[in-house]
């Protein structure tokens, strides 16, 4: 049997086997273990599985890439990020209080991660759709995993309704693309567009595609599910949705926009030669603007930290879209860089929050008051993550924002200083964001805990601290030395179609 076509998927195959093995082990072996230990063991095993697949990914002999899968370097990187993010999520799960159906949890999480890892490899419209659905459907289920809570069910239902609607949009858009070009492959579509003017139907297609992807990365106006889902889903699931899922989705969005770049100039909103601006840029600009403004201002008076992070996540995706609006190759690299460091910081924030929140009885500012003192190490890491999200140097979040804005100012889609107005609005809203992030830090470090609140130190195992520390270190290093990653991303994107 010729194994070559399966080689690129070797890690995924191994991971799915591992996941089902895990399910079986839980059902037959760990079932009678006391709860925290069972959960912890499963989580560590699950993380080990991701580690194994990363190892396989690096180890496998690189074969001839098939039609559906792109060349490896950047894609490999994306897969690694997905796996590593999922592994961290699994580690976060081990600290979570909720442990009723842990076997199912880890398996479903793995399936979702599998969907995302396939998504970054997909270069075919059908594949893209299938992968997105695979990951989304498992996430709906994961969100509702806490059947004992009504709000979780409600959130999952909301998530599901919006999700299926946007899937329909996406599918609709994809069929248009197919109808226009007669091919399902992204490369083929791009080539077709470069040969002939696609006409206004492309606009329709793109709007639907953007709507579908916009749901996945939660930008205005497709964001309504996010706050509820973040707040009510189990914390690790929320972390996963907020980070890993966004990396993969942004990556695929970038690929779609790359296809459109071939059709650039074919139609425009402006009339004269001076302000030629492709229509999709206008749409993205609008989405970006709305996300930044609405996300940041809505986050301003949240008291539940996860809702705050949800809204701020919306705003972050708005910033990211600015780089995509710029339409330069460096802009795409900047966007990818942005989403990677955003995901790291978010994952870290959720991780620490999980520990502090479970031990403090809730995740509102009131519950978390002074919580950082109960574990100063994690508190310190949390500060780094939050400052990165706020865009304070030397954390990577700053560098991400800086790159995005710098690219926007040199955008070929606008005259002179490009989208200066957009950058100004972005920076002003980032001042708003700075305020609420600071409130969060103030809560955990400065506010006095309530009388009845527990004050004893929280113990966390060394591997958890190490994982969070690694994230924090990465954020610092990527912020201080962004050049290697940036160059890698730029070179990778140049070769990825």
Residues that bind other proteins (CB under 8 A): 330, 387, 392-394, 398-399, 402-403, 405-406, 409-410, 415-418, 420, 423-424, 427-428, 430-431, 434-435, 438, 441-442, 445-446, 481-483, 486-487, 490
Residues 6 or more apart in contact with residue 464 via CB below 8 angstroms: 91, 94, 95, 351, 355
CB 120, min distance to other proteins, A: 23
> Whose structure tokens read 């910081």?
345
Q: Between 297 and 445, whose beta carbon lies closer to other proteins?
A: 445
- With a CB cutoff of 8 Å and minimum separation 6, the contacts of 164 are none
Instruction: Give the span between the Cα atoms of 390 and 435, in whole angstroms.
Output: 9
- What's the full length of the chain, in residues? 497
Residues facing residue 69 across a β-bridge: 122
Least separation in angstroms between residue 220's CB and other proteins is 22
Q: Shortest Cβ distance from residue 393 to other proteins (Å)?
A: 4
- The tokens describing 315, both together, are 């705003």
The whole-angstrom separation of Cα 47 and Cα 1 is: 31
Query: Which of these, 135, 133, 153, 134, lies nearest to 143 by C-alpha position?
Result: 153
42 and 77 Cβ atoms separated by less than 8 Å: no
Q: Which two tokens stand for residue 32?
A: 């009678």
- Minimum Å gap between C-beta 379 and other proteins is 11
Q: Which is nearer to other proteins, 235 or 399 (CB)?
A: 399
Closer to other proteins by Cβ: residue 217 or 475: 475
Other residues' Cβ atoms within 10 Å of the Cβ of residue 458: 17
Specify the residue, 354 or 482, whose C-beta has the smaller distance to other proteins.
482
The span from the CA of 323 to the CA of 338, in Å, is: 9
Tokens 């599998």 correspond to 114
What is the maximum span of the chain, computed from C-alpha positions, in angstroms?
Answer: 73
Specify whether the CB–CB gap between 344 and 243 falls below 8 A.
yes
What is the C-alpha to C-alpha distance for residues 109 and 91, in angstroms, rounded to an integer? 12
Q: Which is nearer to other proteins, 17 or 428 (CB)?
A: 428
Smaller CB distance to other proteins: residue 167 or 328?
Answer: 328
Smallest distance, Å, CB 30 to other proteins? 40
The token pair at 437 is 């992030």
User: What's the rounded Cα separation, in Å, for the pair 400 and 312?
Assistant: 15
Q: How far is it, in rounded angstroms, from Cα 300 to Cα 322?
A: 22
Nearer to other proteins, 35 or 480 (CB): 480
C-beta separation of 425 from 293 below 8 A: yes
Q: What's the min distance (Å) between Cβ of 376 and other proteins? A: 9
Output 61 or 416, the one with its CB closest to other proteins.
416
For residue 483, the minimal CB distance to other proteins (Å) is 5
Q: How far is the CB of 60 from other proteins (least distance, A)?
A: 31
Tell me how far, at minimum, the Cβ of 445 lies from other proteins, in Å: 7
Q: Which is closer to other proteins, CB of 86 or CB of 326?
A: 326
Q: How far is the CB of 442 from other proteins (least distance, A)?
A: 6
Smaller CB distance to other proteins: residue 54 or 489? 489
């Amino acid at each position: 049997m010729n194994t070559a076509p399966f080689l690129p998927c070797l890690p995924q195959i191994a991971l799915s086997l591992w996941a089902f093995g895990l399910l079986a082990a839980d059902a037959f072996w760990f079932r009678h273990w006391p709860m925290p230990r069972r959960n912890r063991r499963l989580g560590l095993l699950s993380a080990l599985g991701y580690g194994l697949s990363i190892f396989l990914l690096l180890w496998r002999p690189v074969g001839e890439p098939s039609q559906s899968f792109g060349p490896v370097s950047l894609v490999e990187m994306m897969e690694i990020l997905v796996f590593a993010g999922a592994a961290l999520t699994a580690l976060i799960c081990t600290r979570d209080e909720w442990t009723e159906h842990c076997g199912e949890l880890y398996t479903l999480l793995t399936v979702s991660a599998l969907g995302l890892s396939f998504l970054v490899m997909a270069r075919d419209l059908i594949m893209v759709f299938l992968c997105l659905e695979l990951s989304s459907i498992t996430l709906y289920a994961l969100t509702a995993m806490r059947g004992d809570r009504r709000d979780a069910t409600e959130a999952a239902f909301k998530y599901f309704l919006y999700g299926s609607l946007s899937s329909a949009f996406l599918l609709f858009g994809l069929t248009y693309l197919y109808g226009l070009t007669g091919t399902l492959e992204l490369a083929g579509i791009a080539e077709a567009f470069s040969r002939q003017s696609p006409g206004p139907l492309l606009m329709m297609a793109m709007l639907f595609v953007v709507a579908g992807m916009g749901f996945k990365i939660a930008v205005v106006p497709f964001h309504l599910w996010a706050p509820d889902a973040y707040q009510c889903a189990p914390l690790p699931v929320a972390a996963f949705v907020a980070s890993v899922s966004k990396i993969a989705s942004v990556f695929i969005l970038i690929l779609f926009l790359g296809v459109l770049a071939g059709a650039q100039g074919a139609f425009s909103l402006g009339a004269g030669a001076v302000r030629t601006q492709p229509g999709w840029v206008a749409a993205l600009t609008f989405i970006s603007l709305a996300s930044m403004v609405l996300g940041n201002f809505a986050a301003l008076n949240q008291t539940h930290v996860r809702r705050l992070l949800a809204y701020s996540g919306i705003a972050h995706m708005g910033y990211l879209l600015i780089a995509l609006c710029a339409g330069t190759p460096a802009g795409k690299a900047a966007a990818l860089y942005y989403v990677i460091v955003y995901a790291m910081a978010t994952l870290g924030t959720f991780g620490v929050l999980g520990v502090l929140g479970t031990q403090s009885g809730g995740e509102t500012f009131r519950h978390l008051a002074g919580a950082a003192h109960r574990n100063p190490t994690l508190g310190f890491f949390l500060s780094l993550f939050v400052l990165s999200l706020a865009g304070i140097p030397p954390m990577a979040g700053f560098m991400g924002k800086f790159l995005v804005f710098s690219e926007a100012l040199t955008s070929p889609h606008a005259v002179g200083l490009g989208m200066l107005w957009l950058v100004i609005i972005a920076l002003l809203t980032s001042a708003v964001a700075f305020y609420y992030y600071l409130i969060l830090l103030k809560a955990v470090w400065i506010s006095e805990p309530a009388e009845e609140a527990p004050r004893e130190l929280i113990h966390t195992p060394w591997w958890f601290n190490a994982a969070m520390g690694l994230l924090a270190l990465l954020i610092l290093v990527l912020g201080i030395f962004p050049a290697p990653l940036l160059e890698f991303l730029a070179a990778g994107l140049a070769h990825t179609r």
